[in-house]
Amino acid sequence: MAAVLREADFRTNAFAQHENHRVSALRDLIAALRGFKRDSDRATFTKLFCEAITVLELDDLELARELKVSRPTIGRWARGESAPHPLGRGPVLATLVRIADSKIKRHTSGLRFEVEEKATV
């Protein structure tokens, strides 16, 4: 019985560490998005945009729906072939921040649930 509990504790701890890492990456992304200068060059936008796609774990179709652009547009932005006009980058960045914030809330609510569940055992 004790071995089973230790294994469960290890899995819970590993899960919590993974979730903490994800939340940290999401918070770093939010800081980078908020600090981005809209008049930066296309390459700088592309680098941040690709980082956001990776950290947010979104595919082109999901991101296109969220940003209200076509899937090929997402591909062009990710490849650096084009980028939103500097005046249009604000809404794109704000949407990415909103998605990241939503994911943080989901991840942290799951951590609280795990802790509460463990406390009742």
Residue 26 burial (10 A CB sphere; 0-12, 13-18, 19+): buried
**90-115: pLDDT as tens digits:** 999 999 999 999 999 988 875 554 44
Q: How many domains does the chain have?
A: 1
The answer to whether 76 touches 61, Cβ cutoff 8 Å, is no
Single out the residue of 54, 49, 67 nearest to residue 25, CA to CA: 54
Q: What is the mean pLDDT of residues 22-33?
A: 95
Residue 89 is part of which domain span?
2-120
Full DSSP string of 44-94: HHHHHHHHHHHHHT--HHHHHHHHTS-HHHHHHHHHTS----GGGHHHHHH
Grade residue 61 by pLDDT with cuts at 50, 70 and 90: very high
Distances (CA, A) of 65 to 10, 71, 72, 74, 96: 38, 8, 12, 10, 12
Whole-structure pTM value: 0.78
Q: Give CA angle at 48 (59, 90), nearest 5°.
A: 95
